[in-house]
Amino acid sequence: MDYAEGGDLATAIRECLDSEAMLPQSWVQELSLQVVSALDYMHSRGVIHCDLKPGNTMLLTPFILGDALAGASKPHALLVDFGLAEIFDETAAVGGPATVKGSPAYLSPEGFDGKLTQKSDTWALGVMLYEMLVGTRPFRGTNNIFVLYCQVANTEPGFDQIPEVPQSLVRALMEKNPASRWSARQCFAHEWFKVQEFDTSLVVPNSLGQQVSYFHRAVTFCMASAMGMKDLKEDYRLFKALDADKSGQLDQEELKLGLAKLGVRQDPSWIMAAMDLDQEPDSLRLIRNESFLFFSE
């Protein structure tokens, strides 16, 4: 396997934001075209990545922020971590309600019901493009259940923050109806990939949101695995049923018992590892009643 001298794309994005800079459009365009080419090749052979995200996009050439901003370097991307990849069967979408896979922030709306296709990969590409061009993910919040709800509801992210030319491409990739969403091959014809000079007056957003709690993310993903997003509006009643000591918050033991009752087949520790989550102190691994109120009647 090639050595990725530049680390992963997630680190490059974070380095830019920490320096109050943005990845230049020319750099993003070059990397995006490489990812589109990789997806088109995979999809033409019936393979779905199922976990496309910046953390699984490696940079083979060194990433030096100053050189990237000056246009003195170009990225060379490599997609990795095919541990969740599937061979796509055109007669049926991959998976089922209890086999949700992928990282929630990049998972397509249909993916929360376990119905993954090649269009699920292009949704993830759209999220990555948004993140590179705007500096933050399209859907964010301190409560990850709210983030997931936004991805399947009629909520739209701030597309107007994206530069004009690539904006229509991101919209096409983040179409919530997979039948209307662009494929990787359709992307080649987009005008953005023909642009050679770019406006460099990009502004870093004032607020990038708070880090989503490890516990919130794990809970949400496990619950989505068991129920599918269509059922998440029942969360308030579910919360009350799981809250055995009526304390208004769930601890890890209550969560473990609740997930077993829901019939979640995946090992929660495996899910957390797949999501690249770091451990938090025990005192933070609590989810409170208020987190569910958005969905209560």
Helices in the chain by DSSP H: which ranges?
A: 9-18, 25-44, 65-69, 118-134, 144-152, 164-173, 184-187, 214-227, 235-242, 252-262, 268-274
Cα–Cα distance measured from residue 33 to residue 5, given in angstroms and rounded to the nearest whole number = 20
Is residue 113 flagged as an active site residue? no
Chain centre distance of CA 84: 14
Domain boundaries, the chain: 9-86+100-193, 214-295
Which tokens go with 58? Answer: 């490696």
User: Phi and psi for 242 in degrees, rounded to 5?
Assistant: -80, -25
pLDDT at 110: 85
Set 51, 81, 121, 243: catalytic member: 51
Q: 240: number of CA atoms within 13 Å, CB side?
A: 5
What CATH class has 214-295? Answer: mainly alpha
pLDDT at 297: 36
pLDDT at 142: 52
Q: pTM higher than 0.85, yes or no?
A: no
At residue 57, the 3 state secondary structure works out as strand
pLDDT at 156: 76
Cα–Cα distance measured from residue 95 to residue 30, given in angstroms and rounded to the nearest whole number = 33
Cβ-in-10-Å burial (0-12, 13-18, 19+) of 141 comes to middle
User: Phi and psi for 75 in degrees, rounded to 5?
Assistant: -80, 155
**CATH placement of domain 9-86+100-193:** 1.10.510.10
Cβ-in-10-Å burial (0-12, 13-18, 19+) of 109 comes to buried
pLDDT at 127: 95
Chain centre distance of CA 212: 13
pLDDT at 296: 36
Handedness of CA 147, 150, 80, 85 (dihedral sign): positive
Cα–Cα distance measured from residue 190 to residue 181, given in angstroms and rounded to the nearest whole number = 14
Per residue of the chain (297 residues), what is the pLDDT tens digit? 567 788 999 999 999 988 888 999 999 999 999 999 999 999 999 999 989 999 999 999 989 989 988 888 899 999 998 777 777 765 555 544 446 667 778 888 888 777 888 999 999 999 999 999 999 888 765 555 555 666 666 667 889 999 999 999 999 999 999 999 999 999 999 999 998 766 655 444 544 444 444 455 555 555 555 554 445 445 556 666 766 776 666 666 666 676 666 665 555 444 444 444 334 444 444 445 444 433 333
pLDDT at 4: 75
